[in-house]
A = this chain, B = another copy of it.
């Protein structure tokens, strides 16, 4: 965690540093991020950086705390549109709100997804902690859904969690990488076309690729 000198900083300066760090990690990932560039872009001296943080990982962990806090803040006043939602509807709603967050803070989302989901796979076991909460929450949701007869119980809970995470990550990666090319990412995410794409991905997660009599052309 950052040293107390960092927390004593005026908000503006702190934010400038945090923003420079976010850009750096979004652009270069964790391993190739450069503290030299971070200090250059935040207008502080090299020595100051090491009075605020112990090292690169420290500033990254701080960023993840900031992301977590912003996310909670963002989700706070969001409520599902209806009562008694189906688990899949609820998951779809969650993903969509998540994508709203990602497009509201695209560099943050890019930095987090890149390092945690992508580089994290090959790092020595770090970052596992960040997944734990998500996984537990998903597992609880899925168990309940199986009890409700919504999720196929022949697919075990662990696998269902893995699948939902895979899709969540795939969609996030798609939104973040494609979205960065748009001039107005939020508008692009909210566009009918992008929303339909997300819907279709989740539809396939729910019903699979195979054509079956019962569902054919029921949805699209």
A residues contacting B by CB (< 8 A) are 29, 31-32, 88, 114, 118-119, 121-122, 146, 149-156, 159-160, 163-164, 166, 170, 173, 177, 197, 200-201, 203-217, 219-220
Instruction: Give the CA-CA distance A122 to B25 in the complex, in Å.
Output: 12
For A173, list chain B residues within 8 Å (CB). 121
- Of residues A122, A153, A209, which shows the largest number of chain B Cβ atoms within 10 Å of its Cβ? A209
With A118-B118, A122-B118, A154-B216 already in contact, the answer to whether A206 and B204 are too (CB < 8 A) is no
Q: A121-B173, A166-B170 are in contact. Are A151 and B201 (CB under 8 A)?
A: no
Question: How long is the Cα–Cα vector from A217 to B154 in the complex, in angstroms?
Answer: 6
Closest 9 CB pairs of A and B: A208-B208, A154-B220, A207-B208, A152-B211, A206-B210, A206-B208, A166-B170, A151-B209, A118-B118
B209 touches A205 (CB 8 A): yes
Instruction: Give 10 CB contacts A-B under 8 Å.
Output: A146-B211, A150-B210, A150-B211, A151-B210, A152-B207, A159-B204, A163-B201, A205-B208, A206-B209, A212-B215
A192→B205 CA distance, assembly (Å): 25
Number of chain copies forming the complex = 2
Q: Which residues of B contact A177 (CB under 8 A)?
A: 121-122
Docked complex Cα distance between A146 and B166 (Å): 25
Question: Contact between B154 and A209 (Cβ–Cβ < 8 Å)?
Answer: no
Minimum CB–CB distance for A174 against chain B, Å: 9
Residues of chain B lying within 8 A (CB to CB) of residue A217? 154
Cβ contact within 8 Å between A160 and B32: no
Please, how many angstroms separate the alpha-carbon atoms of A156 and B201 in the complex? Answer: 11
Neighbouring B residues of A122 by C-beta, 8 Å: 29, 114, 118, 177
Q: How far is the CA of A119 from the CA of B160 in the complex (A)?
A: 26
> How distant is the Cα of A170 from the Cα of B117 in the complex, in angstroms?
12
Q: In whole Å, how far is A142's beta carbon from the nearest beta carbon of chain B?
A: 9
Find chain B residues with CB under 8 A from A153 CB.
Answer: 211
